[in-house]
Structure 1
Amino acid sequence: VALIIITFQEQGDKMMEEYSLEKNERACIDFAISAKPLTRHMPQNRQSFQYRMWQFVVSPPFEYTIMAMIALNTIVLMMKFYDASDAYENVLKMFNNVFTSLFSLECLLKIMAFGVLNYFRDAWNIFDFVTVLGSITDILVTEFGNNFINLSFLRLFRAARLIKLLRQGYTIRILLWTFVQSFKALPYVCLLIAMLFFIYAIIGMQVFGNIGIEEEDEESAITQH
């Protein structure tokens, strides 16, 4: 295995010797060429109410407040346990309603700041909107639909709020992107492992395949060979 890896690296280094740039420099240039910069909508009229609202929703204090709300919501989700009292369940339900209201207010403020069309152009905003809509549906079903409908899967929207941390945390997004990019090499790793298993299977058949097993001592023969 080590020989295969070393040979592969040597062949790659020989190919890179033909270029004036190093391997990392070429990778950096290729990434810069293929990168698509993100655009953020900004109202043109800086004296309008929409522009002041936009300044508010893109400000660091607002972002930190949302992150704190997500962290507190995570703590509330972890506080649920089996066979809890009705009073305790009601308190957790109240907290869930409060967080749902706050996240709904966040969506409303961003729609007012960006506009409907610009708001839904961002995939993260669409995810936030779907999460809020699912959470509101969960509350309505829990309050009014217990007798005739069972949509317990809607509670997954409460846990989906944790994914919002990926939007707020730059370092977390880098780790997630690195994890996703590593899947590109996963088929080659699986192929290498399968090849090793196949080689060892052939060696095992050649070494132990011709050993006879006595009929009266079959159990010990398996452990001996």
Structure 2
Amino acid sequence: LLRTLRPLRVISRAPGLKLVVQTLLSSLRPIGNIVIICCTFFIIFGILGIQLFKGQFYYCSGSNVRHIKNRTQCESNPENEWINQQYNFDNLAQALVALFVLASKDGWVDIMYNGIDAVGIDQQPQRDHNEWLILYFISFLLIVGFFVLNMFVGVVVENFHKCREEQAAEELVQRIEKRQLKLQKARQRSLEQPYYINYSKTRMKVHDIVMSKYFDLIVAAIIFLNVVTMALEFYMMPQVMVDIMTYLNYIFTAVFILEALLKIFALGFKRYFKDGWNQLDVTIVILSIAGIAMEELESNIIPINPTIIRIMRVLRIARVLKLLKMAQGIRALLDTVFQALPQVGNLGLLFFLLFFIFAA
């Protein structure tokens, strides 16, 4: 049994994962206080639910129960059966289970309507018999489901920031060294001549064109037109329109190829591919060329799986991503998301370890 704990040794070798575990361990004490508060609310609403609904979630199950009013009428027909709902408030244990389902917000609607339809003990439920009882369920969801349970997240986040500050103090020396190294490189670059100093007149003119904001605006307008043409497609299009869409796709693909070639010519192969957004542009161009090639091969020479053709057509919408690099605000937001991915990966790795241990 103890062998299943061996994967936990990974934690000590992964700094990011170690930070997540330290956060969870340091959160145990304040989380204990929230657990007490949560249990208190569960017990209060559980006892209140017993007083309101005990014995009232039973109903008559059978082929013809429309005119059944109570348990006696139900059991008078041997084909009928007087049964209870899966989640009910007959005792505190059952009430706590029902409240847990309510707090998870998964299946809570059925429990709420069962409570609203309840008439009394040994009475057949009637639709919307006590609509005012919705206040009980809404109050529990607002207080416990949305407020108390979210306090757990707040405690973990607060402790994460505390642990991160402690870890940041240890990393401060390394960051200072990296900063000094960057400053040295920046000084060296400032002393160096610009990369385009030896460009010919033609290459310099192309460089000025592709680096201007007007060039980006023209490309953005072309991408927008491409998106509009893709949005015009519909089921059972006339063949004439299909041909027009195909030729427009060729034109847009040619424009994007020309854009990539001009930038490679202006910036140089190495400098161009140093930018991740340029790598995305080239990937989109390659996918567009591959899609056109597959469509031509499928229609003329080689039979290709239609699913692959559809996938390549769907990937055309990736051209919209080219607009993101022109929006500074969205780029900053995406950069923030990418910076947060390592911590998300650490949390996912911790979940994987726990699932693996309990599964083993």
TM-score, with structure 2 as normaliser: 0.41
Out of 200, 219, 238, the residue aligned to residue 66 of structure 1 is 219
1:77 maps to which residue? Answer: 230
- For residues 199-210 of structure 1, the aligned pairs below 5 Å read none
How far apart are 1:7 and its partner, in Å?
7.1
Q: Which amino acid aligns with 1:154?
A: M
Q: Which amino acid aligns with 1:155?
A: R
Secondary structure, aligned partner of 1:149: coil
1:175 aligns with 2:329: no
Contact 1:141 1:149 in 2 (8 A): no
Contact 1:104 1:132 in 2 (8 A): yes
Percent identity of paired positions between Structure 1 and Structure 2: 28
The alignment of Structure 1 onto Structure 2 pairs a total of residues equal to 181
- Separation in 1 of the partners of 2:285 and 2:157? 52
How far apart are 1:112 and its partner, in Å?
1.6
Structure 1: gaps spanning 5 or more residues: 20-25, 192-225
- For residues 1-225 of structure 1, the aligned pairs below 5 Å read 2=151, 4=155, 8=159, 33=179, 42-45=195-198, 48-146=201-299, 148-150=302-304, 151-152=308-309, 153-183=311-341, 186=344
TM-score, with structure 1 as normaliser: 0.62
- Separation in 2 of the partners of 1:99 and 1:142? 16
Q: CA RMSD in A?
A: 3.9
Contact 1:42 1:54 in 2 (8 A): no
Larger displacement relative to structure 2 (157-166 or 147-156): 147-156
Q: Which amino acid aligns with 1:134?
A: L
Q: 1:124 to 1:149 in 2, by over 3 A?
A: farther
- Separation in 2 of the partners of 1:10 and 1:144? 56
- Separation in 1 of the partners of 2:289 and 2:331? 27
Q: 1:104 to 1:35 in 2, by over 3 A?
A: farther
Larger radius of gyration: 2
Contact 1:57 1:63 in 2 (8 A): yes
Q: 1:123 to 1:182 in 2, by over 3 A?
A: closer
Q: 1:168 to 1:42 in 2, by over 3 A?
A: farther
